[in-house]
Amino acid sequence: MRIGFIGLGIMGRPMARNLLRAGYSLIVYDRTAPLSDMVSLGAESAASSREVASRSDVIITMLPNSPDVREAVLGADGIASGARAGSILVDMSSIAPRVSQELAGELQKRGVPMLDAPVSGGQPKAEDGTLAIMVGGDPAVFEAVRPILEKMGSAVTLVGPIGSGGMAKLANQIIVALNIAAVSEAFVLSTRAGLDPEVVFEAIKGGLAGSTVMDVKLPSILDGNFEPGFRIQLHIKDLVNAVDTAHDLGVPVPLTVQVLETLRELEEQGLGAADHSAIIRHYEELAHTEVRRRHP
């Protein structure tokens, strides 16, 4: 089976490497990122999304946002113009569910089924192949590509029909953003009160307040390390999609809106490319308190 992989950014590159390590034949393309390192590992390069699709049985896209995926699929030299009937598109980008549904409808006219399969876990889990992958689409198509997905993720779940993977990812991103904000408020408060944040972390991480978000993000915060990770600008994109989807469904999401505004403020301050754990910088500035290790 030949796999095409389009989008070799922070997440896509390690995901593609894991497929190569698993023994799959890979054809790669990215509009801006270099391909030489992937070729040195055994991948073949392509000059367009269309070429990738024409040479692949399964095409995977891992792109920043809805417009990027739409262009890769339906644009000039896009996947739709090159894919053979019976090939499968797996979009692992985090985009608006309605866009996934629209693209799937267009591809179905050409006999190309599509799954939306966004991921959670950030760069560390992309590197070690333990991403959580949330999938929407036809169960038979899902089963056909499940072995491929399992080389990139340790939890691969079919959530429902097309668009369901994206909807689950929006729920995930709301929880992650609000969790980081809650961790930020709590640790700025306790640090301002004179407590050692590392000791507070040890005291609470085993209780009900414990979370994967806190376990992963707080050590970097304590080191003052806000390298992505997962960029603030990408989390803004996800929360905008979440708020728009919520409005379409008539669902209030006031906490999500509040954190979205905080992220936008940080982006305006030049922190859009920082890790989303930099949410704490907002609270630190308000309280004139930094949450950092006291004993390096």
**Domains identified in the chain, total number:** 2
- Shared-domain flag, residues 271 and 196: yes
**Assigned domain for 296 exists:** no
- Shared-domain flag, residues 146 and 209: no
**Known catalytic residues?**
169
29: domain range?
2-161
- Shared-domain flag, residues 15 and 94: yes
- Shared-domain flag, residues 103 and 53: yes
- Shared-domain flag, residues 15 and 150: yes
**Assigned domain for 294 exists:** no
**Assigned domain for 124 exists:** yes
Q: Tens-digit pLDDT profile for the chain (296 aa)?
A: 899 999 999 999 999 999 999 999 999 999 998 899 999 999 999 999 999 999 999 999 999 999 999 999 999 999 999 999 999 999 999 999 999 999 999 999 999 999 999 999 888 899 999 999 999 999 999 999 999 999 999 999 999 999 999 999 999 999 999 999 999 999 999 999 999 999 999 999 999 999 999 999 999 999 999 998 889 999 999 999 999 999 999 999 999 999 999 999 999 999 999 999 999 999 999 999 999 998 76
Tokens 């169960």 sit on residue: 139
Longest dimension (CA), the chain: 64
- Shared-domain flag, residues 212 and 101: no
